[in-house]
């Protein structure tokens, strides 16, 4: 929605370059991780997910990497396009803990022409 | 499928007023949740439900009530609105918590 992304970390990337957006999590029991994209004025939209028994998963132009040792998650976007401009959120869930899905604060991706 | 729908899109309340934000989904999803989004705060979970008749608190439940009498509907009630509840509210649903959620378009609420 409007004003989403104020005071958020911003990543500026040249059009055509690859983007890497990072996310740290604190709950070692988390076993499911999701990346969402939120365009201005819209609700978040699912991009890709990964379970804790994997360390890498690829989609169309996107790759998610999971490093459980350091509790770090990253989203890589290949050949960034103007339509990739948005705020990106990681979210996590632990089935063993409860059914809550908790979001990170988000990163704004800005595409330079 | 209409997906996840929310009404209203915009709402202005005075302090102390009550209202209900509506959320409905037509995908037969068991899991539904409410989030609020404030600038620089990301999305914070208010309440969630794993099925009809079952609700539970999220990260920021105070000041909000929910009910889940049917699989399709998950209304969020503000009993006595406060300026701190000015935010954008999103409803989401999924087959179960461990799967991707589908979000509604949001309700922008202003409490004066």
For the segment B8-46, what is each residue's pLDDT rounded down to a tens digit? Answer: 999 999 999 999 999 999 999 999 999 999 987 789 999
- Chain B residues with beta carbon closer than 8 angstroms to that of A23: none
Which among A1, A100, A104 is the nearest to B48, CB-wise? A100
Question: Which residues of chain B are within 8 Å of residue A1 when distances are taken between CB atoms?
Answer: 37, 88, 106, 108
Structure-model confidence comparison of residues B1 and A110, the more confident one: A110
* Residues of chain B by 3-state class (helix, strand, coil), percent to 5: 5, 55, 45
| Burial status of residue B11 (CB atoms within 10 A of its CB: 0-12, 13-18, 19 or more) | middle
Testing the interface with A: which of B27, B101, B104, B109 to mutate, by most A Cβ within 10 A?
B101
User: How confident is the prediction for chain A on average, in pLDDT?
Assistant: 89
With cut-offs at 50, 70 and 90, classify the pLDDT of residue A46.
very high
């Amino acid at each position: 929605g409007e004003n989403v992304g104020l005071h958020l970390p911003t990543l500026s990337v040249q059009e055509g370059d690859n983007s890497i957006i990072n996310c740290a999590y604190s709950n070692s029991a988390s076993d499911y991780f999701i990346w969402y994209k939120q365009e201005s004025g819209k609700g978040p939209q699912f991009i890709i997910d990964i379970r804790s028994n994997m360390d890498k998963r690829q989609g169309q132009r996107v790759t998610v990497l999971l490093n459980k040792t350091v509790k770090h998650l990253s989203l890589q976007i290949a050949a960034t396009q103007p339509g990739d401009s948005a705020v990106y959120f990681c979210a996590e869930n632990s089935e063993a803990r409860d059914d809550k899905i908790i979001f990170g604060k988000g990163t704004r991706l800005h595409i330079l022409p | 499928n209409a997906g996840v729908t929310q009404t209203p899109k915009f709402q202005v309340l005075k302090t102390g007023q009550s209202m209900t934000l509506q959320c409905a989904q037509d995908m037969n999803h068991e899991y539904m949740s409410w989030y609020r989004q404030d600038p620089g705060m990301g999305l914070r979970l208010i309440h969630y439900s794993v099925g009809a008749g079952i609700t539970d608190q999220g990260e920021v439940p105070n000041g909000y009530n929910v009910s889940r009498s049917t699989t399709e509907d998950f209304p969020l009630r503000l009993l006595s609105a406060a300026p701190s509840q000015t935010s954008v509210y999103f409803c989401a649903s999924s087959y179960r918590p461990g799967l991707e959620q589908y979000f509604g378009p949001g309700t922008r609420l202003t409490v004066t």
